Amino acid sequence: QKEVEQDPGPLSVPEGAIVSLNCTYSNSAFQYFMWYRQYSRKGPELLMYTYSSGNKEDGRFTAQVDKSSKYISLFIRDSQPSDSATYLCAMTGASKIIFGSGTRLSIRP
Amino acid sequence: EPEVTQTPSHQVTQMGQEVILRCVPISNHLYFYWYRQILGQKVEFLVSFYNNEISEKSEIFDDQFSVERPDGSNFTLKIRSTKLEDSAMYFCASKDTEWGYNEQFFGPGTRLTVL
């Protein structure tokens, strides 16, 4: 079983739609759960992180973690064409980061 | 705003040649990392480095790889004898402490092409 699984997409939605991105994981030792955005041939850029289970909101972005199900989600409200990118879920105990494969998202104007 | 820098942005080399990828972490950071991303695949952890020692390495980081902090600012990844499958983006990252969650700041990457 892979440590982190993420649907690679691509996912294409119209502008203004709510986007839901998800990952599952297998390692119970993970404590911090992150979402990164990555543009082509660029380094990952941290969007937000969550510690343990729960929700965290930052503007149009909401991250959810359910440790009992080993399932994390990122919701994007009122999606904009500028949100088009690859979104990587990631998790860590405290040191090395384990990344999902990324979901390529395209927001159609 | 402080940032991690990497040079070169693109390195082309012949199979079997040695390459050194360079990184300048954020100045007050103490923990350093290398990751790689083969085109179309996930970002993978290679190695972590603290206090002039490797603290953890992955299965990918075999004897062909080495890391060094030769001075107070640079952090390097050396690949001794490059293989075709070493072609990838290599990202350096740094953070200031291990306590709790602290963001690893990623550099823009070096694209390594092995011919």
Confidence band of A94 (pLDDT split at 50, 70, 90): confident
Q: Write the DSSP string, B55-89.
A: EEE-TT--TTEEEE--SSS-EEEEESS--GGG-EE
Q: Is the pLDDT of residue A53 over 80?
A: yes
pLDDT value, residue A9: 84
Q: Which among B11, B29, B37, B41 is positioned nearest to B105, based on CA atoms?
A: B29
Structure tokens at B29: 């950071």
Alpha carbon of B45: minimum distance to chain A alpha carbons (Å): 7
CB A87 within 8 A of CB A35: yes
- In terms of CA atoms, which chain B residue is nearest residue A91? B101
Q: Is the pLDDT of residue A7 over 90?
A: no
pLDDT value, residue B92: 97
pLDDT value, residue A17: 97
Residues of chain B with pLDDT under 70: 98-100
d(CA B60, CA B37): 12
pLDDT digits (tens, 9 = 90+) for A20-41: 999 999 988 888 999 999 998 7
Alpha carbon of B84: minimum distance to chain A alpha carbons (Å): 19
pLDDT value, residue A65: 95
The percent of residues in chain A predicted with pLDDT above 90, rounded, is 77
Mean pLDDT of the region A38-62? 91
Q: Do B91 and A51 touch (CB under 8 A)?
A: no
pLDDT value, residue A52: 82
Question: Does the bond joining A10 to the residue before it have cis omega, within 30 degrees of 0?
Answer: yes
pLDDT value, residue B100: 63
